[in-house]
Each structure stands twice: as structure tokens, then as C-alpha cells.
Structure 1
Amino acid sequence: MKQHSLIAAAVLSLLLPVSSFAAGYGAAGCGLGSMVLGSKSGGRQIFAATTNGTFGSQTFGITFGTSNCGDHGLINISKEREIFAQENYTSLVKEMAQGKGENLYTLASLYQCPAETHQEFGTMVQEKFDHLVVNDQTTSTELLSQLENQLAHHPKLAKSCDIQLSALN
């Protein structure tokens, strides 16, 4: 009997990781970590799980169907972008001026830009900073609107990122 339990446990341990890869994320599960670090196995999954836990993105993603956690959530990805930009506005503006940073790359992930384009995303927002943040009164909603306009006109990012502009739909 004990031998059957061991065999069943071994089979389950082999099947569970396969099902998570089929879902588009690794052993760490869905969330920001899976979007940034992907589904490759190994030590990357530890960092993915840490990222998910640190930002609460997995819980948020499961609840709202975002962050690689499915598409049947209560709110859509554009709403998640708005909330993120509003909650992280000050840091985001500073990082946009620098062209790099954790919040900026998270925003790129929320636009579903592949990780290999995050540096180009940072360069673009740094170059277009004066168009994105017009003055001290620019709101997070206005910032995202301007960002989406710049993304839509960027030769590479327009093709690789998900820009859901109402004007283009």
C-alpha cells in the first residue's frame, strides 16, 4: 500500500509542473513574477514567487483576471494600468525621467511588452518625457493617455506591446 502512495505522489509531482507550464506560467504561478521572469524552471521561479508575494500581484491577478492569471477577471487590464499608475505616480514619473526602474518596467509588463523590450520602453519614455508629463498638474490618467499615444507611434513597441486605445478600436 505504501508503495502505491509513493508512485501516486511521484506521478502527481511530474504532472503538476506540466499543467502550470501549459497555463503560461511556471511553478511560481501567475502574477507579475510570471510576466517578468517567464515560465522557465529553476531559480528564476523563486524570484518570480518573491515578486508575486512582494507586490501582491498574484492575488490581484487571480481576483481580477490580470497579470497572466486569466482573462475572466472582474476588471480588465486597462483598469489595472490605471490603478497601478495612480498608486505609483510619483515613483513612476521619476523613473520615466531616468528611463529605467522597477515601477517603469512593471508598467511595461502591464502593457504586456515582452521583457526584452523593457529597456527600449524605458528609453522611449525618457525621450518623450516632456510629452508624457506636461506639467506638475498632469494626472495619472493623462499620463497613460499620452503614453499610449507614444506607444502607438513607436515602430517596435506598437507591434510588441498591447495598446488598447479607444481611438484605435
Structure 2
Amino acid sequence: MKKILSLVAVIGLTTSIYANDNTGCGLGSLIIKKQDTVALQVLAATTNGTSGSQTFGITSGTSNCSKPNNYVSNDKLNRFVSENMDELALDISAGHGETLATVAKLMNVEDNAAFSSKLQANFTSIYSSENVTSATVIDSIAKYM
């Protein structure tokens, strides 16, 4: 029993070291609101880890978690950009166009004019070589949002 408790404590401490704000988001952060001692932080982190709620919370944006803005995981955006790399390059260099407007829509951009202008000004860093990948283009575009 002591070995199990020691293992749980080590896992909890390790999780709390690497998690956001010591214990991160998830069920533990919902149940244990005041985490002012190491023991409470370990308990919250262990609850997050053992319940699987932290992973679910991060993907869904629930349980005190924020959903990351990682556009590379957006399948529609990935497919569209990879199928339209040349057209997108032309639109970005011109500062307008149908392909650029579609990318803006897929990325939930509110101000298309400012977005297009910013991308046009940074065209050479977005399309840094003729062998640039669509994932790199998307990551570069996301930097200018």
C-alpha cells in the first residue's frame, strides 16, 4: 500500500511540475479550488491525471481548460491549403483573392482586410522557399493573426 501511495505522490508531483499553473485544468481544478498546499496540489494533479478529464478538457475547451488555437489540426484548412498552395501564394502576394478569403474564413478571421494586408507584408516569411509545406504555411499565417 505504501508503494502505491508513494507512486501516486510521485506521479502527482511530476504532473504538477509540468502542468499549467502547477496542477493545470481538469476535474482536479474544479473540485479543489483552493490549492494552497503541496498536498492539495498533488491531489488536484492526481485527480486530473487519473480521471482523464484534463485531456478531454483541453480538446473540448471545458473543465477550466482553454482549447489551443492549433490550426494544423484543422483538417479542412490543411486540405484546402495543401490543394491550393500556388493560388494561395498568388492571393497573399496580391493582398486579396478568393483563396485567401477562404483561408481567412477557415481560420475564423474577423477583419479580412487587416489579415490580408498583414500576410501580404510578410509574404516572404510565409512562403520562405519553393519547397515550403502547407503545414509550415499555416503555422506562419497563424503567427500573423
Structure 2 length-normalised TM: 0.48
Q: Please identify the structure whose Cα radius of gyration is greater.
A: 2
- The TM-score with structure 1 as length reference comes to 0.42
**Which gives a bigger RCO, structure 1 or 2 (Cα 8 Å, sep 6+)?**
2
